[in-house]
Structure 1
Amino acid sequence: MHNVSTNAARLIERIASFRRVTVAFSGGVDSSVVAAAATRAKLDALVAVTADSPSVPRWQLQWATRIANQIGIAQRVVPTHEGDREEYVRNDTKRCFYCKETLYRTLGQLANHDPTTVLVSGTNADDLGDYRPGIEAGKNASVQTPLADLRLGKQEVRELARFFGLENADLPASPCLASRVAYGVEVTPERLSRIEQAETWLREQGFSDGRVRVHHDELARVEVPSDELPRLLSPPLASELNESLRAIGFRFVTVDLQGLESGSMNRVLVQIGEAQH
């Protein structure tokens, strides 16, 4: 088990070996740690590229720019247009693959002027244990994953973020808005906008984290941390939740009594797998 300063040195050394780097930079803690290490690696060329599409909340784009400025890394914000792909819109279990494939293709096109440029992502060691088709897309595009390569998981990454003095060290993870849409329900700009508005409402009510999952028939399943459930379910907030989300465009509003669970949409993958055997 390495201490945080050793992990920082290992990460910087790993990234320094690439020489010319483009970081897939969402502004989340993982990609921010990679970007911060890259700025210390004395590279020949370095840029952070942030994807802009309806699946990225506006507050997240603002955070990405804020953190890029804090780190002191050059940033480019580019539209990725994954919503133009029929395979992405239909939202089967490989949606994330098509999204990341589009992202890495866009990053690759930006680096075409220099084929020696290496694409780097913030995939960490713990990500490898979850169902993440986007990792497969990264492998196909030869994207380097220094955090995962060094076996640095979520806890070590948070420690590194604090070590580097990053403002988002304790910011909750926030996967793209499309991850809130149940498999088989089409991913459309309108649905993504409704999700963003609903999650903004939760933040404005003071919840530390939250997800609004969309199921068939425009049913919204709301998740907040389990210790914050009593407040959400208490009057008059429960009524306000129902009224606000229905005004946004959801037909039905329900609260998940299990509380916030990262990747909860993947529960159905077990059933899908069982049905195929």
Structure 2
Amino acid sequence: MTAQEKYDDLKEYLRGLGSVAVAFSGGVDSTFLLKTAHDVLGDNCIAVTARSASFPKRELDEALDFCKKEGIRHFVVDSEELMIPGFSHNPTNRCYLCKHELFTEIFELSEKNGIKAVAEGSNMDDNGDYRPGLMAVAELGIKSPLRHAKLYKKEIRQLSKELALPTWNKQSFACLSSRFVYGEEITVPKLGMVEKAEQLLLDLGFHQVRVRIHGENLARIEVDESELKKVLLNRKKITEALKSYGFTYVTMDLTGYRTGSMNETLSDETLSEKVSAE
């Protein structure tokens, strides 16, 4: 199937839901899903964004601006993951704990507003990595329209560009808690260190960035391979800034950016716990 045929299938699927609450982070996938759902369902589509310490302010601001511009009913819920029992210890199922709590809250909000379904923006590429959050999606009956339509990230970017969405070429993003080594404690101060460090790199013009935190004070910077040299050219500025944020050691990962690099330490047994598409 072509991307356009999948897009048509997506619209038909959303139309069949009747009404939907989209878990909206402001990223590439959820923006495309929300735009399509709103085009199809109008006011029977709402957006719900979670505000927490692991969600950067710039992402929240962009989500608010998009919904205001598009005339989409938008709800912001406070979802403080660090209050979830066990979450701050960063277990391997951390994402499951977070998503289960968040989607339960979105379900309750949806029922109060007469919305029948809740949807999230995972795509076909998400089937290939360790994604414990998808276990919560399956358990709670959350809809995954992009996976239903068998859309891949590349196709979503293509279609987003055709729709003139500002996110068509936006960098991939995951919550800041994903920057921590499994088993190391997640705290508000360390989340703040990571957020400021990544914002600095974005302000310097880097496109795709991750600042992974190891222990209390070591930063491991990941950027696209094409921008590794740029890190060295800005070495002094980056090092001085990150040390002022609380890091003692500032390192660059020579492999470059890749999704789920923290999962590289997991066992084969843990990695086998994947959820396939609907």
TM range (shorter): over 0.9
Residue 42 of structure 1: how far off its partner (Å): 3.1
Give the structure 1 partner of residue 112 of structure 2: 113
Written as runs of structure 1 = structure 2, the 5 A alignment for 1:2-151 is 2-4=2-4, 6-42=5-41, 45-113=44-112, 117-151=116-150
Give the structure 1 partner of residue 207 of structure 2: 208
Instruction: Give the percent of matched residue pairs that are identical in Structure 1 and Structure 2.
Output: 36
Identify if the C-alpha distance between structure 1 residues 2 and 221 changes in structure 2 by more than 3 Å, giving closer, same or farther.
same
Identify if the C-alpha distance between structure 1 residues 116 and 223 changes in structure 2 by more than 3 Å, giving closer, same or farther.
closer
Question: Which amino acid is the alignment partner of residue 240 of structure 2?
Answer: E
Residue 251 of structure 1: how far off its partner (Å): 2.2
Per-residue displacement from partner, 1:10-47 (whole Å, max 9, x unpaired)?
A: 11110111112110001111111111111122367221
The farther-off stretch of 217-226 and 52-61 is 217-226
Q: Are the equivalent residues in 2 in contact too, given 1:124–1:148 (CA < 8 A)? A: yes
Question: Which amino acid is the alignment partner of residue 159 of structure 2?
Answer: L
Give the structure 2 partner of residue 250 of structure 1: 247
Q: What is the CA RMSD across the aligned residues, in angstroms?
A: 1.8
Residue 124 of structure 1: how far off its partner (Å): 0.6
Q: Are the equivalent residues in 2 in contact too, given 1:121–1:145 (CA < 8 A)? A: yes
CA separation in 1, counterparts of 2:215 and 2:182? 9
Per-residue displacement from partner, 1:216-257 (whole Å, max 9, x unpaired)?
A: 2421101111111112113xx212222211110112211111
CA separation in 1, counterparts of 2:115 and 2:21? 11
The farther-off stretch of 171-180 and 70-79 is 70-79
Q: Are the equivalent residues in 2 in contact too, given 1:97–1:133 (CA < 8 A)? A: yes
Residue 186 of structure 1: how far off its partner (Å): 1.0
Q: Are the equivalent residues in 2 in contact too, given 1:35–1:71 (CA < 8 A)? A: no
Say how many residue pairs are matched: 271
TM-score by length of 1: 0.92
Per-residue displacement from partner, 1:80-119 (whole Å, max 9, x unpaired)?
A: 1221013211101111111111110110121233676100
Give the structure 2 partner of residue 267 of structure 1: 264
Identify if the C-alpha distance between structure 1 residues 181 and 14 changes in structure 2 by more than 3 Å, giving closer, same or farther.
same
CA separation in 2, counterparts of 1:114 and 1:77? 14
TM-score by length of 2: 0.92
Identify if the C-alpha distance between structure 1 residues 149 and 3 changes in structure 2 by more than 3 Å, giving closer, same or farther.
closer
Greater relative CO (CA pairs within 8 A, separation 6+): 2
CA separation in 2, counterparts of 1:42 and 1:200? 35
Question: Which amino acid is the alignment partner of residue 248 of structure 1?
Answer: Y
CA separation in 2, counterparts of 1:12 and 1:3? 12
Q: Which runs of 5+ in 2 are unaligned?
A: 272-278
